[in-house]
Amino acid sequence: MTTANIKPLLDAKQLLQAYASGQRDFSGTNLSGAQLSGANLRGIVLRDADLSGADLREADLSGADLSGADLRGAKLRRVNLIGAKLIKADLRGANLYRAKLLRADLSEADLSRADLRIGADLRGAVITNTRFRGALYDEYTKFPDGFNPTEMGM
């Protein structure tokens, strides 16, 4: 990667202003630790973005493209990810309490040690080659039909 491809750190205020003005593609952006709880970011494109440690609690990311995004340790409690693309996304250790992941594409994503307790909803999600080793779940977690959490190392 050349320095021309590295995007500068963008703060939450800058992102929200650019989104409000109609920009949707923030691929490769560094938003590590950004405070975006409750933000409306429907349809945003954050491919290969760094969102590690970001606070996205109760944000609306429905239909978003987060393919290849780094979401390690992100706070995703009650986040709306319905229909989102999370292909090859890194969600290790992410807090996904009550997250809505219905029909999300989690192909080849890494959810190792992610917290899916208290009603995380993955019904209809695509989970081809998705890693769940050590992820937490409970009786309220909703999985796609035929999914066996024990077989997935959860």
Q: What is the CATH number of the domain that holds 72?
A: 2.160.20
| Domain annotation covers residue 55 | yes
Please tell me the predicted confidence (pLDDT) of residue 1. Answer: 39
Whether the per-residue pLDDT at 2 is higher than 80: the answer is no
Name the token pair of 49: 């973005």
Q: Answer whether 140's CB lies under 8 Å from 117's CB.
A: yes
Q: Measure the CA–CA gap between 46 and 70, rounded to whole angstroms.
A: 10
Please tell me the predicted confidence (pLDDT) of residue 4. Answer: 45
| Domain annotation covers residue 124 | yes
Q: Which domain holds residue 69?
A: 25-154
Residue partners of 146: CB distance under 8 A and separation at least 6: none
Number of structural domains, the chain?
A: 1
Measure Cα distances from 62 to 2, 9, 22, 102, 104 in Å. Answer: 32, 24, 16, 10, 9
Residue 49: what are its φ and ψ, rounded to 5°? Answer: -80, 155
Please tell me the predicted confidence (pLDDT) of residue 5. Answer: 52
Q: Measure the CA–CA gap between 137 and 9, rounded to whole angstroms.
A: 33
| Domain annotation covers residue 9 | no
The mean pLDDT value of the chain amounts to: 93
With a threshold of 0.75, does the pTM exceed it? Answer: yes
Whether the per-residue pLDDT at 144 is higher than 90: the answer is yes
| Domain annotation covers residue 6 | no
Q: Measure the CA–CA gap between 115 and 134, rounded to whole angstroms.
A: 9
| Domain annotation covers residue 82 | yes
Whether the per-residue pLDDT at 127 is higher than 90: the answer is yes
